[in-house]
Structure 1
C-alpha cells in the first residue's frame, strides 16, 4: 500500500455561484453540479478498482500455483519420478505462494478492490435516490398545488441536495477511514471492510450506525450484566 489520492483531494470543486433572480435555473445548475460530483466519485472508485483487481488476481494465482507445485513436487520426489532436487523446488514454490498471500494482504489488493466496488455502488444507489427525489420535487411544483411559497420550495430542493452531498461525503470518509486502518495494520479482515458483500450494505450500515448511534428500544440488544447475590440477613 502506498500513497493514495482521493477524488478532489488537491483541487476540490468550487461551489457554483449564480444569480438567484432565476431560482429554477439556479437550482437546476446546483443539481447538475452535485450529480456530476457523484458520478466523478463513483468513476474514480471504479477506475481505482481495475488495477487492484488485476494485481489481486496475479497474487492469488501465484499463491494457488505455489501451493499446487509445492505439494506436487515432494510427492513426485517420493515416487522417484523426478530427481532428488524436486523437494527443494517444492519448498521454494510453497515459500513463493506464502509470499503472494502475504503481499496481497499487506498491499490490500483484494480488500481494496472489493471496498472500491462497495463504495462506488453505494454512491450510485444514493444518486438514484436523489434523482427520484428531485423528480418528485419537480413534479410537485409543476403539477401543483404547490405547498407553501416559492422560497419554501427552493429551500426543500436545497435540503435534498445538501443531504445527498453529506451522504456521499460520509461514504468517502468511511472508506478512507477503513483504508487508513488497513494501511496501519497491514492486514485488515475482509469481513469488516465489505460487510455483506460487494453491494456495500455493510458500509452503509456502518455509516448509519455512526450517524444515528446504537439503536435502543424493545428490539435492541444490550449486554447481560451478571446478577449480584443479595446480602445475607442476620
Structure 2
C-alpha cells in the first residue's frame, strides 16, 4: 500500500475503534440504568400501595401493621436513584450514545470527503503539495475525533466532581441537622405543689427539686415535657407541653403551674 493510503486506513480504524468502544460500553450503562429505574418505580409504587393495604385490610381485621414497609420501600427507591446519579449510569448512557453517534457521523463525512478529494488520483504519485494537503486532512480528522473523546471525558470528570461535592454537602447537612440539642425548662409556682415529677417524652420521671431543669443531647424534633404531682390541697395535677428542639441549639420552655 501507498504510505498515504496506509495512513488513511490507520486513521479510519482508530476512529472506528473509538466508536466501537462507546457502542460496546453503552450496553452496561443502559442495563444498569434501566434496571435501577425499573426497580425504583416498583419500589415507589409499593410505597404508595402498602399504606392502602394496611389501612383497608390489615387494620380493619385487627392484624399486624405493615405500614413501615411502605416507608422502607420509598427509602430504598430514593437510595437507588441516588446511586444512579452518583455513579452516572443514566447520564453516562446518554453521554456514550451522543459521543458514539458524533464520532460515527464525523467518520462518514470524512470518508466521503476523502473520496471526493482523492477521486481519480494515484496516491503513490501525488505532487508534494497535494500529498501534504491530504496529510493535513488526516491530521485534522484525528484531532477532531480526539477532541470529541476529550469533551466526553471532561463532561464525565465535571459530573463526577459535582456529584462528589453534592454528596459531601448532603453528608455535612445530614450531620448538622442530626446534631443533638438541649432543652431548658423553667418551672414557676412549684412551691404550691408537692411530689412534683418531670419527664421528657416516655423516659423516666425525675423528682422536681429546683425551678430549672436541663435535658441534654436531645434528638432534633418535637418532644413532650410532662409535669405531674399534687397540689397542697391534695389534688392531682398534670401538665404537658410540646417543645421543638433544633439541631445543635438550646430550646427553652417555661411551665407556669397554677398557683
Q: Would you say same fold, with TM above 0.5?
A: yes
Residue matched to 2:153: 176
Residue matched to 2:77: 97
Contact 2:86 2:163 in 1 (8 A): yes
Contact 1:133 1:160 in 2 (8 A): no
Partner residue of 1:75 out of 33, 52, 71 = 52
Greater RCO, CA 8 A, separation 6+: 1
Aligned residue pairs: how many?
A: 160
Q: How does 1:5-16 map to 2 (within 5 A)?
A: none
Closer, same or farther in 2 for the Cα pair 1:187/1:122, shift >3 Å? farther
Residue matched to 1:126: 106
Partner residue of 2:38 out of 48, 58, 61 = 61
Q: Shift of the alpha carbon at 1:159? A: 1.4
TM-score if structure 1 supplies the norm length? Answer: 0.64
Higher helix share: 1
Contact 1:108 1:187 in 2 (8 A): no
Q: How does 1:107-118 map to 2 (within 5 A)?
A: 107-118=87-98
Q: Shift of the alpha carbon at 1:141? A: 2.9
Partner residue of 2:127 out of 137, 143, 150 = 150
After superposition, the CA RMSD in angstroms is: 2.0
Deviations 1:180-212 (A, max 9, x none): 011111289xxxxxxxxxxxxxxxxxxxxxxxx
Task: Give, in whole Å, the separation in 1 of the partners of 2:140 and 2:23.
Answer: 23
Q: Shift of the alpha carbon at 1:140? A: 5.5
Contact 1:63 1:98 in 2 (8 A): yes
- Please say which structure displays the higher CA radius of gyration: 2
Deviations 1:59-96 (A, max 9, x none): 11111011100000001212125754221111111011
Contact 1:105 1:187 in 2 (8 A): no
Task: Give, in whole Å, the separation in 2 of the partners of 1:70 and 1:54.
Answer: 24
Residue matched to 1:139: 119
Runs of 4+ in 1 over 3 A off after TM superposition: 81-84
Deviations 1:15-74 (A, max 9, x none): xxxxxxxxx711100000000000100111111111111111111111101110000000
Deviations 1:121-180 (A, max 9, x none): 1000110111011101111536xxxxxx71111112111111111110100110000000
